[in-house]
Structure 1
């Protein structure tokens, strides 16, 4: 990978976070809907649109609004900087609880996901952190993991995967969830270091293999194998056919073994273009905002903030771009300082 100036690393890091926000916002009005319902409500989504008035989760939000995917990623980024060498699980759980309370106060219907909520309830009931997340196998860890990829360099890969596993422990302490989050974090880290989306995809598979040896075993297909398979499935196909393969064969649900491979398939179809990744994901049906956040976030890390579509970025709502840039700069500074994290 090329030698990167600090300011270029920050641009790539900001691209990861804002690219993720774009994918999230494009998918916000279509999440949980079927492809047919998306077409009936919006036609083909190729720009930021407001959700239908009867949307089960997103109703009332303006076009361009980000959701839990973006907000929890930024929350994790700040938690990493506060924690220092050892990740502070108690502070992280409290931050998640505070976030959900704030979301309820704002009248949001988009709250903590099933694995995170179950784990936090267990911790509040006295279950140790190491055990609370032993059944967390959905995509909540992968959707918010980008800050770990910014903080940790891609080599040594074991150290990056260990940090991913540490941040997953309280809520998603399973091999499937850790492998999924490791794939995303490694891809982001590769992009921040100057790698393109193809190199990021290769590293994602390697990181998923390592991540599968962490956490509690739960039944499910290999994340590494499914990412590799999903990208090969769509490679070289016409776009419409490739999208159909993702919907029909890979799956787009909240299960990590569906949505994370689907996100890397979307990255392949979009050929690393963040806007196209966001658009493709928004029209898939299912967990569109999370798939979009992952795919466009990895793409944004590989292109940088400066190359994101300015008009779409300007349309984002509920995100402080200056604050995101500052967070990215702080995470990069920690990465370059080789501070244990």
Structure 2
């Protein structure tokens, strides 16, 4: 008999699972498969590597996921305020769209030892320095000491955020489809009102840093999938619906300048992952590498999905498969962990993984808060 998994348990499983996959893949992120096997044996890395304090480090993937969540919670608070003002017949506060998430990312940038530009053309143009400083010190996460650590942050994210400009799908500043957009969107699937809202919010969130349609549409697709899984949907069925979403231009309304087939790379990558899983291909690194290396968004999602489909109820095996290859191991592990954790819930993730995980309490609290705030729409 299947065990019922509450929505709250799925939320915690999703974010904690992502952090575990991130931490498992971190030590081998820049190793090729031969080096992984040389250092860890034929099966590759199998367990977290705690430091002298007994904690396994997460990377920028988990850091940015957490700041995504903080920004989304602020968006939801402002949305609720507008709803309350409207119901009371008062003038609602302005809809600032994705700006709370962008500001949260700028606070992450501060933890990396940098700051956004504040001059003309930026979101801070015309603001006094003390007002900018207030934004960059708001919230809780920027004050968490363990988040003030550089863990190989992605160049695209750093460069895009340093400009201080609010980019959108129709006003991109680069043509990147790196996985730095997709690896941080899982919180969207938890807080969104519905899967379509999750898709639209997810691609707008990724477009804050990544300008290629495959970069942000893939992010929207992962957010869509997490939203479906949060409600107990089957992963195989979710993946098939995600393909349809990727290929539906009517849902890409926030990216009017994108070509009509802008979701095709994402859809084909998902189809390849599903096909490999259904074919009974061996669960080996060589099979994983048929999907790519994971440095770009659609490949990272395909690898994470393949691993989760191959071991839908076996979290350790899923994340181990997702990280042991020659590519972007922490990001593919994180995405797999998000998906697998949303399916099985927090209680089914082995205790040892969680006990050794850096920031586990903060990640858990964030997941619960996002689930409690569920209802964010794509009206941004």
Aligned to 1:46: 46
- The unaligned stretches of length 5 or more in structure 2 are 80-96, 114-141
Q: Given the alignment of the two structures, is residue 97 of structure 1 paired with residue 109 of structure 2, yes or no?
A: yes
Matched-pair contact (CA < 8 Å) for 2:174–2:211: yes
Aligned to 1:79: 71
What does 1:318-333 align with in structure 2 at a 5 Å threshold?
318-321=358-361, 323-333=362-372
RMSD: 3.2
Partner deviation per Cα, 1:16-74 (whole Å, 9 max, x = no partner):
000101111110111121010001112222211369xxxxxxxx997622111111111
What does 1:245-260 align with in structure 2 at a 5 Å threshold?
245-247=287-289, 249-260=290-301
Aligned to 1:145: 185
What does 1:179-194 align with in structure 2 at a 5 Å threshold?
179-194=217-232
Q: How far apart, in 2, do the equivalents of 1:107 and 1:340 lie?
A: 33
Q: How far apart, in 2, do the equivalents of 1:135 and 1:266 lie?
A: 28
What does 1:301-320 align with in structure 2 at a 5 Å threshold?
301-316=342-357, 318-320=358-360
Q: Given the alignment of the two structures, is residue 172 of structure 1 paired with residue 210 of structure 2, yes or no?
A: yes
Q: How far apart, in 2, do the equivalents of 1:196 and 1:29 lie?
A: 32
SS in structure 1 at match of 2:28: coil
Scaled by the length of structure 1, the TM-score of the pair is: 0.82
**CA 1:235–1:326: 2 relative to 1, 3 Å:** same
- How many correspondences in the alignment? 320
Aligned to 2:316: 275
Range with bigger deviation, 195-204 or 75-84? 195-204
Aligned to 2:122: none
Name the structure with the higher helix share: 1
Scaled by the length of structure 2, the TM-score of the pair is: 0.74
SS in structure 2 at match of 1:28: helix
- Aligned mate of 1:13, from 5, 11, 16: 11
- Aligned mate of 1:284, from 325, 345, 358: 325
**CA 1:337–1:67: 2 relative to 1, 3 Å:** closer
Partner deviation per Cα, 1:124-180 (whole Å, 9 max, x = no partner):
4xx55333544231111110100000011444x2x2222112212321243111221
Q: CA deviation at 1:309?
A: 1.1
**CA 1:196–1:35: 2 relative to 1, 3 Å:** same
**CA 1:206–1:46: 2 relative to 1, 3 Å:** same
Matched-pair contact (CA < 8 Å) for 2:179–2:297: yes
Q: How far apart, in 2, do the equivalents of 1:309 and 1:133 lie?
A: 42
Matched-pair contact (CA < 8 Å) for 2:63–2:147: no
- The unaligned stretches of length 5 or more in structure 1 are 52-59
What does 1:196-211 align with in structure 2 at a 5 Å threshold?
196-210=234-248
Q: How far apart, in 2, do the equivalents of 1:71 and 1:90 lie?
A: 14
Range with bigger deviation, 91-100 or 106-115? 106-115
Q: How far apart, in 2, do the equivalents of 1:31 and 1:235 lie?
A: 27
Matched-pair contact (CA < 8 Å) for 1:138–1:177: yes
Q: How far apart, in 1, do the equivalents of 2:227 and 2:31 lie?
A: 31
Matched-pair contact (CA < 8 Å) for 2:198–2:378: no
Q: How far apart, in 2, do the equivalents of 1:222 and 1:90 lie?
A: 26
